[in-house]
Amino acid sequence: MASSSQSHRKRLNKRSSSNSYSSMASRPTPPNYRKISLTFSVFLIFCVVLTLGISSNMWNKLNSSSVSPTIYSIEVVNEFPHDPQAFTQGLVYAENDTLFESTGLKGRSTVRNVALQNGKVEVIQRMDDSYFGEGLTLIDRRSGFVMTFIASCLMQFKKFTHKMKDGWGLATDGKVMFGSDGTSILYKIDPQTLKVTDKQIVKFNGYEVHNLNELEFIKGEVWANVWMTDCIARISHEDGSVLGWILLPTLREGLLRKGYTGIDVLNGIAWDSVKDRIFGFGRFSEYCRSVIFIVTGKLWPTLYEIKLHPVKKKYKPRVIEQLCLRASHDFGRA
């Protein structure tokens, strides 16, 4: 457009020179102000459109980069024995290397106190055969969901009902409980009344993240196993957006290579919030370097203490969708 303006000016200059030269012989022709005005208006419109286009592109780029989920690989720091008959549904780090674990399957559902170092089940409370154990969290030294147990002896303390579609996972920040029911919804629950106070639909790249399973609250985020995948989603409890993905296929693949063919899916996240075993940063961000926590799976013989590392390789959203997203599951237990 600049060259067009220059050409236009050149034409005007030529016309002016010609007119000046011929003015001695005839009356000068006035310049065509209508054409000049029209050209200038078009130039202004083009500049505005160009500026808006650049601003929009820059904003989209900045906006997309600010919400681009970080992908993490894992490093196994330690391995601990785990009851291979435990159909792990909930996992919580208590203190002094002690875990609280809830297990599922009708006739085999339990809440147990487990020593991390040797995997010994120190205290166990078996549920009635009609119950299918699900998620677990700790609230004021009490653990439980649907059934609440006194943590020291796992004696049943209280029974609640809830308004979620089904009970899959539980976590807490100390004030609010977060729950999952196998859908894409993350529930906020009052820990005293178990009434749902708010809920968010969890999404990644515009797609709902279905089958949210076991939960853990870590440094202001809700982490969720996604059932039938080897992925853990880092979720913003404020708007349900996925902040990052942790890819753990090597754990299950390693067990299968060792001959553990009876294992089920990855499930169970525990974090030592007392010792705050997080290294190099305070909150998770693009600059985080590592975090140590514990994971296991249903019927897995091993608990893994793992460290996270941001992956430098850029994954296309489509690849993550294939690895970590599944169709919604409306029935059954996870």
pLDDT at 131: 80
For CA atoms 84, 253, 334, 93, the dihedral sign is: positive
Residue type at 217? Answer: F
Burial 20-57 (b: 16+ CB within 10 A, else e): eeeeeeeeeeeeeeeeeeeeeeeeeeeeeeeeeeeeee
Measured between alpha carbons, how far is 305 from 82 in angstroms, rounded to an integer? 12
Q: How far apart are the first and last CA of the chain?
A: 63
Does residue 241 or residue 93 have the better pLDDT? 241
**Is residue 228's pLDDT more than 60?**
yes
Q: Which of 233, 192, 194, 240 is closest to 214 using CA atoms?
A: 233
In the chain, where are the structural domains located? 2-20+32-57, 69-324
pLDDT at 28 > cutoff 70: no
- Enter the DSSP assignment of 30: P
Strands 212-218 and 221-226: antiparallel
Contacts of 212 (CB under 8 A, 6+ apart): 168, 169, 180, 181, 182, 183, 184, 185, 186, 202, 224, 225, 226, 227, 233
Query: Does pLDDT of 233 surpass 90?
Result: yes
Q: Is the confidence at residue 7, as pLDDT, over 50?
A: no
Do residues 143 and 155 touch, judged by C-beta distance below 8 A?
Answer: no
Sign of the dihedral through C-alpha 276, 282, 285, 286: negative
Can you give the pLDDT at residue 294?
87
Find, among 112, 128, 105, the residue nearest to 298 by Cα: 105
Give 241's DSSP letter: B
The mean predicted confidence, pLDDT, of the chain is 74
pLDDT in tens, 57-114: 332 333 333 447 899 999 998 899 999 999 999 998 888 888 999 998 989 999 999 9
Six token digits for residue 256: 């299968």
Distance CA 69, CA 90 (A): 26
Tokens of 77: 């720091």
pLDDT of residue 94: 83
How does DSSP classify residue 316? P
Instruction: Please give the pLDDT value at position 221.
Output: 96
Would you mind telling me the total number of residues written for the chain in this entry? 334
Tell me, what's the pLDDT at 68?
74
Q: Span 301-321, mean pLDDT?
A: 91
Q: Bin 12: left if φ > 0, else alpha if -120 < ψ < 50, else beta.
A: alpha
**Beta pairing partners, 142:** 139, 150
Classified as helix, coil or strand, 63 is helix
Residue 24 has a pLDDT of: 31
Write out pLDDT tens, residues 123-153. 898 988 888 877 787 765 444 444 444 444 4
| pLDDT confidence band for 34 (50 / 70 / 90) | very low
What is the pLDDT, as a whole number, of residue 291?
58
Alpha carbons within 13 angstroms on the beta-carbon side of residue 235 total: 35
Q: Which band of pLDDT confidence, cut at 50, 70 and 90, is reported for residue 163? A: low
* pLDDT at residue 330 in the model: 67
Per-residue pLDDT reduced to its tens digit, 257-295 = 999 999 999 999 998 876 655 322 222 333 344 456 888
Contact 142, 157 (CB under 8 A): yes
In this predicted structure, the answer to whether residue 315 has a pLDDT above a threshold of 80 is yes
What's the confidence (pLDDT) of residue 274? 65
CATH architecture of 69-324: 6 Propeller (2.120)
